[in-house]
Amino acid sequence: MNRILSLVDIGRDLLVFLGDYADRGLYGVEVIDTIADLLERFSGRIIALKGNHEDYSDDGEPRFYPCDLVYEAERKRGGWIRYFSEKLKPFIEKLYLAALIPGEVLMVHGGVSSRIRSLDDLRYPSLEVEGDILWSDPWSGYGEYPNRRGVGVEFGVDITESICAKLEVKMIVRGHEPMKASIGPYSEHNGKVVTVSSTRVYGGKPFILAIDPSAPLSISHIPIG
């Protein structure tokens, strides 16, 4: 996290996190603490999106597996229920489902689906749309099918093209599959879906994606180290 912060100028840049702040290493509690602090100190310059690893019931039951954060909070914060109610739940309530550069880029954690018909579906999502955004994955063909993860969909090239047209963007930037982006940004669907990863947990090379607001499609990636 410190390395990421050293690569940006918070006074000038807009920093967007794409979700899954825990269960990607040994320091999930510390990552969440840091991002929560950044959201407090640099309101408007930091945007944090919700990932499927921030998907819990109201009483703290994770909707994904495995959830290492439960055991990490037990060790470091003295108990899961207290940590969830006092720290994690308020943090999750500050997360956005999507971020958008008008006319250019949609940023989500997982993906999209045919249920998304307009920007209002991102502003006021149904439970089904939220599940699709948090859990969905692109696949190389056409059409839309139930996701093998059990939640969300696998969306094809035609779904991506339809969503980009409806939302008037040129590409979708997402996380969710760090192994796919193990050596750098992974582009598919004719360059309209780009997967990124900032974790080295799976043996990959973490990086951040830099988008120039004056030329948003001229993206580059910067190794975190």
**The one catalytic residue among 53, 109, 176, 189:** 53
pLDDT-above-90 percentage for the chain: 81
Token pair 């840091």 in the structure block, residue: 34
pLDDT digits (tens, 9 = 90+) for 107-137: 999 999 999 999 999 999 999 999 999 999 9
How does residue 12 score in pLDDT terms, banded at 50, 70 and 90?
Answer: confident
pLDDT of residue 221: 85
Average pLDDT over residues 62-76: 95
Average pLDDT over residues 31-42: 94
pLDDT of residue 217: 63
Q: Which CATH number fits domain 97-225: 3.60.21.10, 3.60.10.10, 2.60.40.10, 3.20.20.210?
A: 3.60.21.10
> Is 83's pLDDT higher than 90?
yes
pLDDT of residue 43: 87
pLDDT of residue 216: 58
Where are the chain's structural domains? 1-96, 97-225
Average pLDDT, the chain: 93
pLDDT digits (tens, 9 = 90+) for 151-197: 999 999 999 999 999 999 999 999 999 999 999 999 999 999 999 99
3-class SS letters over the chain: CHHHHHCCCCCCCCEEECCCCCCCCCCHHHHHHHHHHHHHHCECCEEEECCHHHCECCCCCECCCCCHHHHHHHHHHCCHHHHHHHHHHHHHCCCECCEEECCCEEECCCCCCCCCCCCHHHHCCCHHHHHHHHHCEECCCCCEEECCCCCCEEECHHHHHHHHHHHCCCEEEECCCCCCCCCCCEEECCCCEEECCCCCCCCCCCEEEEEECCEEEEEEEEECC
> Is 1's pLDDT higher than 80?
no
Of the candidates 31, 16, 53, 8, the residue with the CA atom closest to the CA atom of residue 178: 53
- Whole-model pTM? 0.94
pLDDT digits (tens, 9 = 90+) for 93-103: 999 999 999 99
Q: Annotated catalytic, 221?
A: no
